């Protein structure tokens, strides 16, 4: 893509995939509602998908309080919550229908406790053979942000420059080294991955790390913050800058923080069930 063009991506819950070997040991994993692109963005020709509602704790009148911070009006669910859902309407709005991609943020910092809480929630994502290949660099200091911005398309730099926290998310393709303390049949899967070669390792790492990144987006929402996921277009530059010497593929970056003025755009349409699913 040329200068001034950025792509915003979003991952949530709803597409089933199976990763592993066909012997009962494979992990059945579920991706989220809307893996792909959605909301049309601004003059930078960015494409957005649901980001994050700034909602946190809820008062009796439905007003949302960001963990005791500024009072924020709740974002309404754009449609009825399915009766089969076990979530309350407030929960469904916080995590799904009311969640939006944030394009601006206040300068209120994301605390160490909030960042740790994001991990504690997101770490339960299902991954192939429990490999957990996601690796994250949390860009928070001004010096680190100066290193980040040149690695992003011009159309995405403004959002990252204004965010108090940006997570650079990558898939560790050497994840098999950690398997002995993560899976009871580690040696078996290490041999399988050795036989399958680099293509198999990259495929497993990418699939599982994307699922984990989806959980990170949801965890950001769950701690009352807003998220702005963006495609890591220059993955090689990001890897060289933040994962030097590591065998990783950078997948995306996620801005996080408290939403700023005019943080959200109008909701764009979503595909219907029949357009997405084929039931056999």
Position 233 scores a pLDDT of: 87
Higher-pLDDT residue of 116 and 10 is 116
pTM over 0.75: no
Please determine, for residue 60, whether its predicted confidence score (pLDDT) is greater than 60: no
Residue 128: Cβ-neighbour burial (10 angstroms; 0-12, 13-18, 19+): buried
Q: What is the mean pLDDT of the chain?
A: 79
Average pLDDT, stretch 173-183? 97
Quote the percentage of the chain above a pLDDT of 90: 65
């Amino acid at each position: 893509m040329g200068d001034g063009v950025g792509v915003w991506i979003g991952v949530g819950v709803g597409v089933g995939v199976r990763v592993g070997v066909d012997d009962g040991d494979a992990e059945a994993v579920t991706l989220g509602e809307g893996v792909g692109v959605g909301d049309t963005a601004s003059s930078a020709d960015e494409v957005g998908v649901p980001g994050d509602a700034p909602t946190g704790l809820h008062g009796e009148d439905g007003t949302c309080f960001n963990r005791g911070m500024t009072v924020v009006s709740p974002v309404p669910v754009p449609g009825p919550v399915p009766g089969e859902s076990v979530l309350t309407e407030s929960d469904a709005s916080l995590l799904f229908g009311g969640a939006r991609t944030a394009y601006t943020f206040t300068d209120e910092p994301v605390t160490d406790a909030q960042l740790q809480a994001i991990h504690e929630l997101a770490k339960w994502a299902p991954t192939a053979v429990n490999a957990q290949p996601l690796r994250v660099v949390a860009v928070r200091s001004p010096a680190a942000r100066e290193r980040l911005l040149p690695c992003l398309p011009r159309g995405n730099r403004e959002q990252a420059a204004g965010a108090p926290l940006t997570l650079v998310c990558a898939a560790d393709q050497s994840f098999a080294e950690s398997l002995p303390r993560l899976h009871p049949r580690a040696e078996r899967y290490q041999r399988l991955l050795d036989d399958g070669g680099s293509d198999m390792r990259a495929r497993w790492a990418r699939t599982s790390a994307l699922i984990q990144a989806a959980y990170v987006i949801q965890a950001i929402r769950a701690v009352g913050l807003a998220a702005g996921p963006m495609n890591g277009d220059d993955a090689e530059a990001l890897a060289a800058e933040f994962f030097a010497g590591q065998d990783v593929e950078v997948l995306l970056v996620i801005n996080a923080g408290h939403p700023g003025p005019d943080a959200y755009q109008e909701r764009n349409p979503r595909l219907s069930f029949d357009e997405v699913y084929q039931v056999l």
